[in-house]
Structure 1
Amino acid sequence: MYNKHLYIPRACTISAIREETPDIKTFKLSFREKWEMEGVDLVEESDFRPGQFVQVSVLGLGEAPISISSSPKDRGYIEISVKASGSVTEGIHGLKEGGEVGLRGPYGNAFPIDDCKGKDFIFIGGGVGLAPLRSLIRYVMSEREAYGDITILYGARSSKDIIFREELDGWNAVKDTKAYYTIDRPEPGWSGNVGVVTTLLKDIGDIKGAKVFVCGPPIMISFALKGILSFGARDEDIYLSLERYMKCGVGKCGHCYIGGKYACMDGAVFSYAQLKDMEVEEAAGV
């Protein structure tokens, strides 16, 4: 994916819509024409990395930064999972298959996948925060033998708020992979775990040396950090996303400037060690 100008969005067609929860939908986006650089179709090559985001725009409403939830291995399209929480995202939710959005990007750094071969992975997600993690999970699953054990912990408000539920169950069936999910409060007919996502940490045992990826609401991230640190995770092995701070996506507006860095350019993925060095853990909500 290549944008010839930082501020010019590219028209995309919504080729499929999947309702994940009452307020979260996944949109499959296809490009109206090839976007080439030096003869290479960068859409077919899926030129983005897990953890990056795009700026999605709706005519007359503006744009919003949204993480890519598909894998670079998913050729010819990208997916975004959108929670209706403002005028732009509600506008996206109001679109139908065949409708159009504008797209800029991809922007930001990415999860350090090249440094993780042979390592155990732990993914901790809350709410729509599982979406950017899904991009990395799907990527790792496509090269499963290159990595160690994988554990996925996910928390939602209720059973109706669980996203990618079929995929969670499918991942749980993959060799050396475990997926656990929980809801915040008991409800009729629910026989699974009840409690915040950190209550699932008891199921994973020793996590020393594992790479840990966390994304979700600030309060969830804060408690998840305390939990995984108490289980022996190292600061430099914990990665978090600060995408909620971003606006322009290209380091111009200053909206995401924190600790001497721009979340949209230097992030949105930071290690916990980086945040501590920047002395911005509290400001970052962790």
Structure 2
Amino acid sequence: MNNEYIPFSSEILEVIKHTDIEYTFRLAYKGEVRPGQFFEVSLPKYGEAPISVSGIGEECVDLTIRRVGKVTNEIFEHYVGDKLRLRGPYGNGFDIEQYKGKELVVVAGGTGLSPVRGVVDYFASHPDEVESMTLIAGFKTVKDILFLEDLARWRQSIEIILTVDCGEADAVCQVGLVTEHLPKLKNRNIQNAAAIVVGPPPMMRFTCLGLLELGYLESNIWVSQERKMCCGIGKCGHCKINDVYVCVDGPVFNYTRAKHLID
């Protein structure tokens, strides 16, 4: 009988720096994985941390990690050729098939762009599979923007609204909260409009309310409710809200269910 708590070893294939505290670690991995799922990344003596999948390759996955604590501080001391230990992937992730043929908008705040990067990348590469595609991505400042090369490439096939909380607007980046840009969405058929919202809880709350005001159906809105995920298999109870285990039943939820997940 397999012990689900035992991690496997994965080699670091590439390290991509975005900001001083946010890097993407490209790790060797063979197996099925969806955008929005997560791995538990661990190092002996330091512990483990849940990290969302930010990219999927043929024999690798990208994990974009922010340096914020004991485990992640130690991860940042590892480089190409070193190995990290992984468990997963866990959770349900985003189902690409649900968004095909829709007028899709993805609203991401800060590192919330990481778990939806795979979705955006797919439809930016297959724009004919959606009626339209818009990404609204918000960051604190210009220095905090992630995936600059991806954003430049995505602009060639989808509409992108890039905004920062403070600073000066230019030809590429605007200033303001992501919610301020929702009225700019030009939906031809609101019944066929779908939205994915990922970011800090207040941002997700007000973005979802803004989308509902525009006429979006609750059943056509999805969020990622990443919250205190520890074991990944619904045993420890840290992520439990009512009768829901976020690490197993989520972290991706349809809004019809997510609106009831209140601590």
How would you bin the TM-score normalised by the shorter chain? over 0.9
State the partner residue of 2:50.
Answer: 65
Which of 130, 140, 144 pairs up with 1:147? 130
Letter of the 1:76 counterpart: E
- Matched position secondary structure for 1:244: coil
Cα pair 2:10 2:86 within 8 Å, conserved: yes
Supply the RMSD in Å over aligned alpha carbons: 1.8
Distance between the aligned counterparts of 1:221 and 1:182, measured in 2? 16
Does residue 54 (structure 1) correspond to residue 39 (structure 2)? The answer is yes
| Aligned-partner SS, 1:89 | helix
**Retained in 2: the 8 A contact 1:129–1:215?**
yes
| Residue of structure 2 equivalent to 1:14 | 12
CA distance in 2, matches of 1:139, 1:231: 26
SS of 2:18's equivalent?
Answer: strand
CA 1:220–1:47 in structure 2 vs 1: closer, same or farther (change >3 Å)?
Answer: same
Q: Which residue, 172, 178, 181 being the options, matches 1:197? A: 178
Residue 136 in 1 paired to residue 134 in 2?
no
Deviation at 1:159, TM superposition (A): 0.3
Q: How many residues align?
A: 260
SS in 2 for 1:69: strand
SS at match of 1:264: helix
Check conservation: 2:168, 2:175, Cα contact below 8 A.
Answer: no
SS in 2 for 1:185: coil
Hey, what does 1:112 align to over in structure 2? 95
Consecutive unaligned residues in structure 1, runs of 5 or more: 32-42
Question: Paired residue for 1:224?
Answer: 207
Q: What code does the residue aligned with 1:17 have?
A: V
| Residue of 204, 207, 226 corresponding to 1:243 | 226
Percent of aligned pairs with the same amino acid: 37
Seen in structure 2, the aligned counterparts of structure 1 residues 18 and 260 have a Cα distance that, compared at 3 Å, is same
> Does structure 2 conserve the Cα–Cα contact (< 8 Å) formed by 1:239 and 1:272?
yes
Task: Tell me what 1:180 maps to.
Answer: 161
Q: Secondary structure at the match of 1:248?
A: coil
Partners of 1:221 and 1:141 lie apart in 2 by 23
